[in-house]
Structure 1
Amino acid sequence: MTLRRRLVLSIVALVVAVSAVIGAGSIIALASIQTGTIDSQLSKATDRASTKFGEGQQQPGGQRPNDDALAPLGQAAGTLTAYYGSGGIAAGIVINEDSSRSQLTADELQRLGQVKVGVDPATLDLGGTLGKYRVAAVQVDNPALGNAVLVVGLPMSPVYESVWSLLLVVVVVVGAALVAGSVVAAVVVRRSLRPLERVAETASAVARMPLERSDALQDVRVPDADPRTEVGRVGAAFNRMLGHIGGAMQARERSEQKVRQFVADASHELRTPLASVRGYAELTRRMGADLPEDVVYAMSRIESESKRMTSMVEDLLLLARLDEGREIQLDDVDLTGLVLDAVNDAHAASPGHVIEVDVPSEPVEVLGDAARLHQVIVNLVTNARTHTPEGTRITVGIARSGDGVDLTVRDTGQGIDSEFLPKLFERFARADSSRSRTVGSTGLGLAIVDAVVQAHGGRVEVTSEPGDTVFTVHLPVSPPSAAAEWSETPEAAPATS
């Protein structure tokens, strides 16, 4: 349940609870007041009846028209009077609305006879048409009947009618309060949470941003940053966090730029001394007739290692240039021809592997850098044959896929460890424990593949299980705008040594 819904429901529940408590209190108070009024009227009616009954009809002047002991003048409609004399004598009447009198039934007289004398008035259900009555009993002395018990009662129907009327009013008021409270609560909560929604929208926008750029968060701020409010404090803290993140990203970018510049400069500067070392080693080795055999061997090893180090330096320099958005020259490239050339070279370099080609009969062309795409294919094939034993089947295929081309390199080797897959394309990453390593590896081959493919606006994916490892390179037919801009700017030309 959302915070808005919880707040609205809480406010509505509070309004309903308060209204219900007020309504219940009003009903109880009304019933109590009405009952007290009935008791007051009952006391007066009892006094009139007991006085008249005690005087008797034999008193001079005691007999008046329509005036008798059980219904003296002044009694209201609905008043009942019953007396119980010695010897089981009982009689009772109730005054009707039209001032006529009705005799009480034996059952009603029996119920009224259970009322105790001298106690507070009580509510008694007489059933039938009479219903509930508020009754009281007193001891009287009639000259004709002697000691008797007189029971007087007034109907409770006016109280119940008032209570039910008030209950209806309370229900209507609570219902109206529920509707009004829901509307007002929804409006108030919506307006109150609007700043928090803006904070959430800003956070969502930041989550969708490409944070590779240090200036990505430069203009992102939460407008609600008033420290006097709770949401404002959240917004101010969020803005401070964005500022810290932006500063950290700029510092990281400056650090990475320095590292890239150092790698590029170091790689560039190392090419010349490495070429000299390689040249002198080769020259010394060719003079082997005048040198001891161990010296000739040492020179050959120096020459071999200088070649390997030169290859690593060239790879580092290429990665540095790709990081700077350089080294991509776009042109129409026959991808089929590049695959065939790479496979032919792999046959010569690794005759122990079974290398196959699966390409369409028609040439497949893309817009890209032929030299770099050839390097991608060579690196993937080299990776497959280097880290798999002899006899492994390697298949290089091309297939059109949607708006691009899929280049796949599949091998039937032992597969790649699943824990190593997430960092497979990182620089200097090696999976020696998951694939057999037969020759040295710099750990830069797949990093170059990923960088070149990204520079072409594509992506590299890999799936691996024992007996089936597939590298898939998806290249768009049209180059990305950034790559096109790189190829058109003078600064995009490759650096020369």
Structure 2
Amino acid sequence: MSEVRARRPWSLRTRLVVAAVVLIAVVGTVIGTVTTIAFRTYLYGQLDIRLKDVAMRASGPSADGAERLPGDLPHRPPLDFVTGGGTPVGTVGAIVEDDGSVDRAVASTQLEPSGPAPTESPLDAAQTAALAALARDGRPHTVDLPGKGGYRVQYATGVRGSFMVGVPTEDVQDALGTLVLVEVCVTGAGLVAAGIAGTGMVGVALRPLRRVAATATRVSELPLHSGEVALHERVPDAEADPRTEVGQVGAALNRMLGHVGSALAARQESETRVRQFVADAGHELRTPLASIRGYAELTRRGRERSEVGVPPGRRPWGRDSAGPDTRHALGRIEAEATRMTGLVEDLLLLARLDAGRPLSYESTDLSPLVVDAVADARAAGPGHLWRLELPSEPATVHGDGPRLQQVLVNLLANARTHAPPGTTVTARVRPAAARTPQAPGHPPAVLLEVEDDGPGIPAELLPHIFERFARGDASRSRHAGSTGLGLAIVHAVVTAHGGAVTVRSVPGRTVFAVTLPSGPPGPTAPHTSGTYDSQEGHRLITRP
């Protein structure tokens, strides 16, 4: 079976040139047609004037009111107008009798162009019949005389009698044929010239579009699917002028390439963060897993003094019955498992927040949460000075209480871990400055601050402080640092609540500020304004 090949589509350049040539051809045809019609009308008008003059010479004045002259006057032959001066060669004339018949039809003939004067030659029966068949209304008519060609013939009557006179249309037809030939030649030459010039002009006009296409082609050849891609290809400014159609295409392509470049950069940054995240998570998990494996191997191979001399069937079961080495190993296994469980739970929480899992929102007062978190932090870090500043009114927000509690715990743990003993840590709750209009009946946004007078955060770490596994020390030891997920969880939870968290740090003062949207006021509970001092015990020192 033969396959029908699809016709190759025309390029834009070819379509534009063909369209221009066709348009020029249509315009040329219309102009030539109108010119030919006008010229034909003019030539036939001139021929009709000459025919009318010949008819007047043949018939004389009108016979109305005058006596008609006899047609056989010897001194004035009736058909002398055929060969008389001023008439073209080939003029025909015929006498119309009173009964309407045509008699003695003749035509002027000149045998040689430079010979004697024209002479009469009689018309044959067919030619005479063609003259006799014309309407006798006194108006010019076009007739084809057999053997002689086209004639312009008119019926005329006057004092000399009635005649059929005609003049040949050969000269008019020749002039019209010459005009049509010239128009066709000129139009054809113009179309060829228009095609050649149009091809060049369209090629020059489409050159910017080809440059735009070349830019798009170079971009399509870049390996954009993977790796770090530097998308620097752009359409030149000369082809990106929005005042032209091609410039609009170039400008739109540049904007698209800019968006694609931003998206690729964001993708690469995300991939880098993911790779770093996976590497850090693997590093964090490798340490407790290695510890668990080592202590388990030690427990399996170790020999306890308490088991010496005891029959295998009577050896006691349980941890309390194990020897000190086994108990130490089991304790380390439990500690590392607990550490790994906390790390996995933090990773799971971040994954859920990234997936947009909904939180349990309810009206929550931050003051009790802060009091509990500071009390727990004091128990974990007795070497620090813990201070608490609470407002006199409830600081109500619309949020998830356990998650907000985790935010407080992580911020206080961060201060406890990275600030040396003796550092004063202050947890503060107060209304935030209202930057946007609040709903009627709602208090302004609530600001939660955790401030310490420790050594501060390194300046190079501040832009990345809320990233996952971002830590100021290079150590992976739990005793020397942290897993680096605490502040990332703070940022994720606060963002999920529609709030914002910022940090300001200089040596001697570091402040983490959490701004949360206020919620509807909950049940009023007694609040005491003042500060909580860890050196004074578990009580609030009330201001007067």
User: TM-score of the superposition, structure 2-length normalised?
Assistant: 0.49
Which of residues 232, 239, 243 is equivalent to 1:218?
232
Q: Which residue of 1 aligns with 2:164?
A: 151
Tell me the distance in 2 between the aligned counterparts of 1:115 and 1:11.
Answer: 49
Q: Which residue of 2 aligns with 1:203?
A: 216
Q: Which amino acid aligns with 2:254?
A: N
Tell me the distance in 1 between the aligned counterparts of 2:137 and 2:172.
Answer: 24
CA deviation vs aligned residue, 1:146-165 (integer Å, no higher than 9, x gap): xx541111111111100110
Q: Which residue of 2 aligns with 1:351?
A: none
> Contact (CA 8 Å) 2:140, 2:152: kept in 1 or not?
yes
CA deviation vs aligned residue, 1:295-338 (integer Å, no higher than 9, x gap): 99xx9xx99xx9xx9xxx9xxxxxxxxxxxxxxxxxxxxxxxxx
Tell me the distance in 2 between the aligned counterparts of 1:202 and 1:41.
Answer: 73
Question: How does 1:271-420 map onto structure 2 within 5 Å?
Answer: 271-284=286-299, 290=315, 292=317
Quote the offset at 1:23 in angstroms: 1.2
Quote the offset at 1:20 in angstroms: 1.4
Q: Which amino acid aligns with 1:91?
A: R
Greater Cα offset, 10-19 or 70-79: 70-79
- Look up the SS of the partner of 1:204 in the other structure: helix
In structure 2, relative to structure 1, the CA distance for the partners of 1:242 and 1:70 (3 Å cut) is closer
Q: Which residue of 1 aligns with 2:264?
A: 249
Q: Which residue of 2 aligns with 1:268?
A: 283
> Contact (CA 8 Å) 1:222, 1:239: kept in 2 or not?
no
CA deviation vs aligned residue, 1:330-371 (integer Å, no higher than 9, x gap): xxxxxxxxxxxxxxxxxxxxxxxxxxxxxxxxxxxxxxxxxx
Q: Which residue of 1 aligns with 2:245?
A: 230
Q: Which amino acid aligns with 2:34?
A: G
Q: Which residue of 1 aligns with 2:142?
A: 123
In structure 2, relative to structure 1, the CA distance for the partners of 1:30 and 1:89 (3 Å cut) is closer
Quote the offset at 1:217 in angstroms: 1.3
Which of residues 268, 271, 274 is equivalent to 1:259?
274
Tell me the distance in 1 between the aligned counterparts of 2:186 and 2:98.
Answer: 55
- Look up the SS of the partner of 1:75 in the other structure: coil
- As a proportion of its length, which structure holds more helix? 1
In structure 2, relative to structure 1, the CA distance for the partners of 1:291 and 1:115 (3 Å cut) is farther
Question: How does 1:442-461 map onto structure 2 within 5 Å?
Answer: none
> Contact (CA 8 Å) 2:79, 2:94: kept in 1 or not?
no
CA deviation vs aligned residue, 1:349-395 (integer Å, no higher than 9, x gap): xxxxxxxxxxxxxxxxxxxxxxxxxxxxxxxxxxxxxxxxxxxxxxx
> Contact (CA 8 Å) 2:57, 2:81: kept in 1 or not?
no
In structure 2, relative to structure 1, the CA distance for the partners of 1:70 and 1:35 (3 Å cut) is closer
Tell me the distance in 1 between the aligned counterparts of 2:216 and 2:107.
Answer: 80
CA deviation vs aligned residue, 1:103-144 (integer Å, no higher than 9, x gap): 11111111100111224211101121x1010111123455xx
CA RMSD of aligned residues (A): 3.3
Quote the offset at 1:92 in angstroms: 1.1
Quote the offset at 1:264 in angstroms: 1.1
Which of residues 187, 195, 198 is equivalent to 2:200?
187
> Contact (CA 8 Å) 1:209, 1:216: kept in 2 or not?
no
> Contact (CA 8 Å) 1:57, 1:68: kept in 2 or not?
no
> Contact (CA 8 Å) 1:12, 1:181: kept in 2 or not?
yes
Which sections of structure 2, spanning at least 5 residues, go unmatched?
1-9, 111-116, 304-311, 323-329, 345-544
Q: Which amino acid aligns with 1:186?
A: T
Tell me the distance in 2 between the aligned counterparts of 1:26 and 1:291.
Answer: 126
CA deviation vs aligned residue, 1:442-487 (integer Å, no higher than 9, x gap): xxxxxxxxxxxxxxxxxxxxxxxxxxxxxxxxxxxxxxxxxxxxxx
Quote the offset at 1:200 in angstroms: 0.6
> Contact (CA 8 Å) 2:79, 2:93: kept in 1 or not?
no
- Look up the SS of the partner of 1:221 in the other structure: coil
In structure 2, relative to structure 1, the CA distance for the partners of 1:153 and 1:69 (3 Å cut) is closer
Q: Which amino acid aligns with 1:218?
A: H
Q: Which amino acid aligns with 2:187?
A: V
CA deviation vs aligned residue, 1:21-75 (integer Å, no higher than 9, x gap): 1111111111111111111111111111111996456669x548x9836555443
Matched, 1:46 2:55: yes
Q: Which amino acid aligns with 2:39?
A: L
In structure 2, relative to structure 1, the CA distance for the partners of 1:131 and 1:168 (3 Å cut) is same
Tell me the distance in 2 between the aligned counterparts of 1:101 and 1:59.
Answer: 19
Q: Which residue of 1 aligns with 2:460?
A: none
> Contact (CA 8 Å) 1:134, 1:156: kept in 2 or not?
yes
Tell me the distance in 1 between the aligned counterparts of 2:317 and 2:123.
Answer: 147
Quote the offset at 1:279 in angstroms: 2.4
Which sections of structure 1, spanning at least 5 residues, go unmatched?
143-147, 314-497
Q: Which residue of 1 aligns with 2:88?
A: 76
Matched, 1:18 2:20: no
Tell me the distance in 2 between the aligned counterparts of 1:69 and 1:266.
Answer: 124
CA deviation vs aligned residue, 1:209-239 (integer Å, no higher than 9, x gap): 1224545312443441111101001111111
Greater Cα offset, 244-253 or 280-289: 280-289
Tell me the distance in 2 between the aligned counterparts of 1:118 and 1:139.
Answer: 10
Tell me the distance in 1 between the aligned counterparts of 2:316 and 2:232.
Answer: 66
In structure 2, relative to structure 1, the CA distance for the partners of 1:192 and 1:137 (3 Å cut) is same
- Look up the SS of the partner of 2:206 in the other structure: helix
User: TM-score of the superposition, structure 1-length normalised?
Assistant: 0.54
Tell me the distance in 1 between the aligned counterparts of 2:82 and 2:223.
Answer: 99
Matched, 1:33 2:46: no
